[in-house]
Amino acid sequence: MLRTTLIAFTAAVLAGQTPAPETKKPAIPAPAVEAKKPVAPAVAPKVEAAPKEDKVLASIADRPVRESDFELFLTLALNAQQRAQIGVVQGAKDPYRKQFLDTKVMQAAARKRGLDKHPDFRRKMELMEMQILVQELLQKDGETLRAKIAINEAEVKAYYEKHTAQFKTPESFNARHILVGIKAADAAKDAKGLTEEEAKARVALAAKALADGKGWEVVAKEFSDDPGSKDKGGLYENVAKGSFVPEFEAAVQKQELGKVGEPVKSNFGFHLIQVEKRTLAEVPAFEKVKDKVQQKAQAAKQEEVFQVYIDGLKQDVGFVIGEARPISKAAGKPAAGAKGKATKNVEAKK
């Protein structure tokens, strides 16, 4: 689950949903003015505004909480689009500012009670640090990664040709169906339900009604015990092959189209079936499923790029599964302590 979450987070960064923070330029002081009257220039020199005052919003335990702290909080709590929306509506930040200050109060209260001294606190802080550092890393590498996951139509077409089975429509059928249920063989004598003989007689009545010209809508509603189709004239449409019990499927494959077949018995009871259409499996043309192929090809390439990226990072930071064995950098051999330990183990075995 962690990997899925990380990939989803990476996708958001690669899609540019979390832009890198802007760097404010220092204010440029206005040029000095000579005592004599200068000749007015064609274009007045541009003077940037002075840095905005970092307003103190509150004081908690004699420590100031500033507007810049709140703005940083917003970068973590909201995405770029949400921040842009509340930035242009007067008063829209007020509820978030209250939430931030309330949270700071709770933080101070927790510290006062010594909760930051709890043994698990540092480990939890490290997990929070991990999340923030990963975000910073992906923002830094985002442009490079976005270029690598870009996909063109030739790659999409190649993916389609290599994975045609993913886009193949299965064999399917349309059929009308009446089910007459039977009581389970191991049911108690007083259990409700028809015996096998009673069910045979009832399904025969249904078949006769159809033969006499009654419509499926009428007969299915009167005789069928199948809640999924009795109110639809017994109809099931575009059913993929293999979706029903084997006895039903076998009848669908061999029965003549448009005719009511002989009753078929399964664990559910007796089925009366009329097959209306059988559709063979087919691979749709590329243009017909192009959008779906594009999505799958893009996801596959993103996974591939992400794995290569992670593998490179593993090599860079010295990732090892399990406990790492100390290595002497000078000789490229196990360190003396590790070697001595190994020697002792060998001697012990002797």
pLDDT band of 236, cuts 50, 70, 90? very high
Quote the distance between the C-alpha of residue 218 and its chain's center: 45
Q: Which of 219, 223, 273 has its CA nearest to residue 245? A: 273
Q: Is there a contact between 177 and 226 (Cβ–Cβ < 8 Å)? A: yes
Examine the pLDDT at 17 and tell me if it is beyond 90: no
Q: Which residue has the higher pLDDT, 200 or 50?
A: 200
pTM of the model: 0.54
Average the pLDDT over 330-347 and give the result.
46
pLDDT, residue 323, reads 80
Average the pLDDT over 202-231 and give the result.
95
Q: How far apart are CA 284 and CA 129, in angstroms?
A: 48
Q: How far apart are CA 34 and CA 203, in angstroms?
A: 110
Q: Which residue has the higher pLDDT, 34 or 282?
A: 282
Average the pLDDT over 101-118 and give the result.
94
Average the pLDDT over 106-120 and give the result.
93
Average the pLDDT over 190-198 and give the result.
78
Q: Which of 182-191, 306-315, 335-344 has maximum average pLDDT? A: 306-315
Examine the pLDDT at 350 and tell me if it is beyond 90: no
Q: Is there a contact between 136 and 19 (Cβ–Cβ < 8 Å)? A: no
Average the pLDDT over 236-243 and give the result.
93
Give, for 172, the enclosing helix (H) or strand (E).
strand 172-181
Percent of the chain with pLDDT over 90: 67
Q: Is there a contact between 14 and 135 (Cβ–Cβ < 8 Å)? A: no
Examine the pLDDT at 314 and tell me if it is beyond 80: yes
Average predicted confidence (pLDDT) for the chain:
82
Average the pLDDT over 18-46 and give the result.
39
Average the pLDDT over 135-163 and give the result.
94
pLDDT, residue 185, reads 61
Examine the pLDDT at 223 and tell me if it is beyond 60: yes
Percent of the chain with pLDDT over 70: 75
Give, for 76, the enclosing helix (H) or strand (E).
helix 67-77
Q: Is there a contact between 138 and 10 (Cβ–Cβ < 8 Å)? A: yes
pLDDT, residue 327, reads 53
pLDDT band of 250, cuts 50, 70, 90? very high
Residue 115, Cβ density class (10 Å: 0-12 exposed, 13-18 middle, ≥19 buried)? exposed
- What residue ranges define each of the domains in the chain, with the CATH number in brackets? 2-14+54-150 (no CATH), 169-279 (3.10.50.40)
The total number of residues written for the chain in this structure: 350
Q: How far apart are CA 37 and CA 55, in angstroms?
A: 39
**Residue 35 is encoded by which pair of tokens?**
């005592």
Examine the pLDDT at 234 and tell me if it is beyond 90: yes
Average the pLDDT over 132-146 and give the result.
93
Which residues 6+ apart lie within 8 Å of 263 measured at CB?
200, 203, 204, 207, 270, 271, 272
**Residue 24 is encoded by which pair of tokens?**
């404010």
Q: Which residue has the higher pLDDT, 256 or 322?
A: 256
Q: Is there a contact between 29 and 51 (Cβ–Cβ < 8 Å)? A: no
Q: How far apart are CA 314 and CA 163, in angstroms?
A: 30
With the CA atoms of 332, 336, 338 and 339 taken in that order, what torsion angle do they form, in degrees rounded to the nearest 10?
90
Average the pLDDT over 326-346 and give the result.
47
pLDDT, residue 28, reads 27
pLDDT band of 266, cuts 50, 70, 90? very high
